[in-house]
Structure 1
């Protein structure tokens, strides 16, 4: 055995498939006393410790975790790093919120030093909350994207980001043009896309802030480069939907605006998707496009309730998004707590195993990264988190009453937050350890 091989002995849980497709029992794998073996940055073995310890008996570095659970690193399929400083801003719905909070904050990101400072803090928060992969909005400024990718590269994180394209209906200091948006994006793609663990997303903010000329340019970028993502917003707010209808009268629905500009593909991720018709769900499925379900921001901004059952009915891939700063937490555990309530308000149930899927493998599938992250299968990248059953007195007390795995998982998702994350690992390296309370 080489010194690069390490192992973790713990309770271990990960998703294998969508419970809505295969049923709950077939959707996950759980080892009450498991062993996760990592060589360099890849997982090379996973199973019961009694089966694997004799095989890997020569490993010098085995970490034993008590009162905890290993899961894959969490995946956030929609978040705005420049909005970190305006999280928890009071009292507006979407369009006013953009004008009163978002745009002024984003205006500061022309300054590379400012962008670098926020990017570092942002990544610290993601890792402190167990998020190892995210699909991230920058601002209209190239500097914002350079700063984000530089910070992500230095930590060897698997991250996706892009420069906002926005040529109308925004302050003068935040607009580009169809041509400058295209050229700036192209330069960033050539510099960062598929460099190490990084990927680029073509990022028109949303239909109202891009002319048809700019959306056409965005579509051209997707044709010119392989494996690019497309990341934007869709049907978040009823006023927004009416605005889109007036701006694009020749389109049959909101999604059709993007479709007519060749922006739908199996690497397209649309945040929110609350107010969709059946034709839109069908078209999302047909093109392999995904939706980012963002419950905390949907509730905070009064946007509406995402219909997960409709996405399941039409076979649309769904990931989970915190949508900071409209969203109110970096924690995907807290986000899942709100997701449960969103589904409850519609008279349905969100099982803990579906929640686990949404935060891990579901997000990876939405991003077409399931061969790399989202599970703990052999051959995948060693991105994982250690959840602490004793993170808070209440969590410790409540879990002592738990009688089943699904109950334990549900309690973690209802009472858990950043304190629940004991360690976060990316590519086999510990990138966050929670400081013990003094």
Structure 2
């Protein structure tokens, strides 16, 4: 079935850091043609109108569906938990909440809410942490499959976790292998081997995670890196002979092109050089970094080393599911270090950049022909202040205002595989 959508189309398929303004594709009056959930054609309306009459008119700026490169669905109910930095926050707020995911009914209820919240915020693809429990992965994948979302996830490995939230080397391997067989490549789903972070696993489990990654070239590796100064110090104490935090992963075969490391805000120059050499990527999470008092990501350092970057909300340390809002915070985090994040580059990080980290850039992120038709309609008049700021403004100003002043209220519609999956309620 062919469907045509008319509207203002904007996408950024490549990092403007490298490609400049040539990376930006903009049709002020464009036509997006979808067949069986995949983009068939795209271009100026005037050039395509004769071939595709009577399109649906989309009321706003149309951008690719957002891709969240790092988020924790079991932490949804612990968003806005007061008073602690990372390690104490985990012990006080997060680990107790995650123990409840031993109950699949609870996991299913949270997963359904989480996926709906992603769609409400314009996020159609995500790399997601579950918990150590196999059923937490099943619940998430079932919810994503029902909504036709593109989600990558995998059972958390943590044999040094607290009681009720840990596994063993053997059970972690067996559970991961079973889940890979059950879910990898099913629908739009993908698997990620997921050590919680280096402090949560024994050397034996980290080595086994590296072996598991080597045995499954179709899956990703997803974990945390250099988020908080106290965490970094604890890693240095545990691995006194390691060159730095990244080296603690590298010795176990976990630093590869398929690795996605969240945060990376306290990286050594050696780590950056190794990340570039390996092709591993970093999911930048400015909201949670600010909320937990961890610091600000160094975009200047990352760009000197040409690191692969994406953007993550990191719920529940992150305080918003909105990647629009997260992009605005990334701008502020960059400016705190006297770097300037262009709004088009911020859009790239929230779409094609994150898609590249997840190795799905051939499928989503740029609304190019052959890609899956996930897209979002942004309303630059969603609030009185946004409407006032963007009235008569050029594209860059409107996009920047949406990132700084916008949030889920600016999402007019979310489309998955060419079909509307969420629509803002109409005012009565």
TM over 0.5, shorter chain? yes
Instruction: Give the stretch that moved more between structures: 187-196 or 392-401.
Output: 392-401
Matches of 1:362 and 1:28, distance apart in 2: 13
Match of 1:71 among 52, 55, 63: 63
Within the alignment, does 1:38 sit opposite 2:30 as a pair? no
Q: Is the 8 A contact 2:13 2:365 kept in 1?
A: no
Give structure 1 regions of 4+ aligned residues with deviation exceeding 4 angstroms: none
Within the alignment, does 1:281 sit opposite 2:278 as a pair? no
1:430 alignment counterpart: 420
2:92 alignment counterpart: 100
The normalised TM-score by structure 1 is: 0.96
Within the alignment, does 1:131 sit opposite 2:123 as a pair? yes
The C-alpha deviation readout for 1:203-223, integer Å capped at 9, x for no partner, is 000000111100011111112
The C-alpha deviation readout for 1:91-139, integer Å capped at 9, x for no partner, is 1100000000000000000000000000000001000000011000000
1:401 shift after superposition: 4.4
Tell me the SS of whatever aligns to 1:96: helix
Matches of 2:386 and 2:188, distance apart in 1: 35
Structure 1: tracts of 5 or more residues without a match = none
1:226 shift after superposition: 2.5
Within the alignment, does 1:164 sit opposite 2:156 as a pair? yes
1:409 alignment counterpart: 399
Tell me the SS of whatever aligns to 1:339: helix
Within the alignment, does 1:9 sit opposite 2:9 as a pair? no
Matches of 2:217 and 2:270, distance apart in 1: 28
Matches of 1:292 and 1:389, distance apart in 2: 27
1:224 shift after superposition: 1.6
Structure 2: tracts of 5 or more residues without a match = none
Q: Is the 8 A contact 2:119 2:422 kept in 1?
A: yes
Q: Is the 8 A contact 1:9 1:34 kept in 2?
A: yes
Number of residues paired by the alignment? 428
1:396 shift after superposition: 1.3
Tell me the SS of whatever aligns to 1:174: coil
Within the alignment, does 1:193 sit opposite 2:184 as a pair? yes
2:23 alignment counterpart: 27
Matches of 1:42 and 1:312, distance apart in 2: 33
1:389 alignment counterpart: 380
Match of 1:141 among 126, 133, 147: 133
Matches of 1:309 and 1:269, distance apart in 2: 19
1:306 alignment counterpart: 297
1:284 shift after superposition: 0.7
Matches of 2:418 and 2:318, distance apart in 1: 29
Q: Is the 8 A contact 2:325 2:403 kept in 1?
A: yes
Within the alignment, does 1:418 sit opposite 2:411 as a pair? no
The C-alpha deviation readout for 1:263-293, integer Å capped at 9, x for no partner, is 1121110000011111101111111100000
1:244 shift after superposition: 0.4
1:245 alignment counterpart: 236
Matches of 2:34 and 2:58, distance apart in 1: 16
Matches of 2:416 and 2:252, distance apart in 1: 36
Matches of 1:306 and 1:73, distance apart in 2: 24
Within the alignment, does 1:351 sit opposite 2:342 as a pair? yes
Within the alignment, does 1:118 sit opposite 2:114 as a pair? no
Match of 1:376 among 367, 372, 381: 367
Tell me the SS of whatever aligns to 2:22: coil
Matches of 1:437 and 1:95, distance apart in 2: 43
1:252 shift after superposition: 1.2
Matches of 1:418 and 1:133, distance apart in 2: 16
The C-alpha deviation readout for 1:319-341, integer Å capped at 9, x for no partner, is 00000000000000111111111
Q: Is the 8 A contact 2:299 2:339 kept in 1?
A: no
2:222 alignment counterpart: 231
Matches of 2:58 and 2:141, distance apart in 1: 33
Within the alignment, does 1:51 sit opposite 2:47 as a pair? yes
1:257 shift after superposition: 1.0
Instruction: Give the stretch that moved more between structures: 227-236 or 215-224.
Output: 215-224
1:71 shift after superposition: 0.3
